[in-house]
Amino acid sequence: MKRPLSDDKVQIPEGFATIVSQPELKSRPAWEEAFRDQCKDHRFYELIGTTLTDTFDYHFVVLEDNEHRVRAIQPLFFVRQNLTEGMTGPARSAVDRVRRKFPRFLTMKTLMVGCTAGEGHLGSVRAEDAAWAAEALHSCLKIFARKSRASLVVLKDFPARYREPLRSFSCNGYTRIASMPMTRLSLHHRGFEEYVASLGSATRKNLRRKFRQTAASAPITFEVMADATPVIDEIYPLYLQVHARSKLHFEKQTPEYFCRLGREMPERTRFFVWRQEGKAIAFSLCLVHDGTIYDEYLGLDYGVAFDLHLYFYTLRDIITWALAEGLHSYCSSPLNYHPKLHLGCELVPLDLYVMHTAALVNPIFRRALKFLQPTRHDPVLRQFSNAHEL
């Protein structure tokens, strides 16, 4: 795709911001430091930058101070964003009717900051540079967006702990709204049965009934591997089945992504694959880092998934494995909140910072965002004990 930026470098307070391509990062030692403490480090961004290219146009902004020291490197990408993603009910039906004639209705070219396949983080080289990096981004993003003719600038899915360093956004032109949150489960139990015993009575009975019904079928086995290449032809169709049923879509992973992830990040990647009578019926891609297992993608054979209660069955095996490995928490990707509520999970708030690049439109757009924010349309979220943190 043709680069959208005709001038790659702009001056900002106390430094410079330069747009570079992924190959150009190789000559910058600071790149490997920018996300070294995150589960998804620089290797992950390089991976998605070469496997998720059909929808997204990737770039990186290098932030230097006046002494030409690289203090942050921030991934960004361009996408045509559907503003009604997550909207349900009559309003969504009305939008869909309009789009039959005008396909781009309520979609805008958007400059997004963050990660296409997960939560966003500030790519500061040192932790103490996070506030500086946030100010520098605030100074340059609108300039780059206008040069590329993007209508929106969005900081995508930044965890709530960034609210303080990102105050310059929420106080100056941007609107902070809640994105669909992740969930977290504390793994302080000695085993899965002790965890189940900590749940409500109705949930305990429901889980045990489900497991008894599954146990009455043909035996199910599972294996754990880092490299999914040998089984990709079996598990990728399962991923597509789950992806097709999801109400919200942003990225669509490729077989290459699944294969390369295990080869390029083997110490963090774990594929769980479940089989019945030799046939793969479910898989889960997880990442392990710093005592936490992150459940990223689930694949299910919907021909048997409901009869075998595979969502709960696979979760049981993952939690049992994580407890045996001494991990202290289980993190799950957004959506499917109803079972997570009853399984004792808490929300992990993620924020969107949004601005329209047209100064006259932005005040009106900010008011409209409260109707467009995705969490508004999921009533289950309000039932979580920490829903107020959204």
- Give the domain ranges of the chain: 9-181+349-389, 183-347
Would the pLDDT of 197 be above 90? yes
Output the six-digit token pair for 146: 């206008």
Q: What average pLDDT does the chain have?
A: 90
pLDDT computed for residue 88 by the predictor: 53
- Beta-carbon contacts of 208 under 8 Å, excluding residues fewer than 6 positions away, are 196
- Give the integer Cα–Cα distance in Å for 286 and 309: 20
Over residues 354-366, the pLDDT tens digits come to 999 999 989 988 8
pLDDT at 105: 46
CA gap 155, 150 in Å, rounded: 14
- Residue 38: what pLDDT? 96
DSSP H helices, the chain, are 22-25, 31-34, 42-51, 89-99, 130-147, 167-170, 192-197, 201-215, 232-245, 255-264, 310-324, 337-342, 362-372
- Range of weakest confidence among 26-30, 197-201, 345-349: 26-30
Please give the Cα distance from 359 to 347 (Å, whole number): 34
> What confidence category does residue 263 fall into, taking pLDDT thresholds of 50, 70 and 90?
very high
Looking at residues 88-115, what average pLDDT do you find? 64
Q: What is the mean pLDDT of residues 127-140?
A: 93
Q: Whole-model pTM?
A: 0.90
SS3 229: helix
Q: 211 or 249: which carries more pLDDT confidence?
A: 211
Q: Do the domains spanning 9-181+349-389 and 183-347 agree at the CATH topology level?
A: yes
Structure tokens at 357: 């690049």
Q: What is the pLDDT of residue 91?
A: 54
* Tens digits of residue pLDDT in 217-250: 999 999 999 999 999 999 999 999 999 988 777 7
Q: What is the pLDDT of residue 170?
A: 87
Q: For residue range 4-50, what is the model confidence (pLDDT) as tens digits?
A: 444 578 899 889 999 999 888 888 889 999 999 999 999 999 999 99
At 367 the pLDDT is 87
The hierarchical CATH code for the domain 9-181+349-389 is 3.40.630.30
DSSP 173-211: T-EEEEPPPEEEEE--SSSHHHHHHTS-HHHHHHHHHHH
Q: Where are the alpha helices (DSSP H) in 198-333?
A: 201-215, 232-245, 255-264, 310-324
For residue 212, give both structure tokens: 């008894």
Enumerate the β-bridge partners of residue 68: none
pLDDT score of 28: 87
pLDDT score of 107 more than 90: no
Q: Class for domain 183-347, per CATH?
A: alpha beta
| Residues of the chain above pLDDT 70, percent | 92
pLDDT in tens, 64-90: 999 999 999 999 999 886 755 555 555
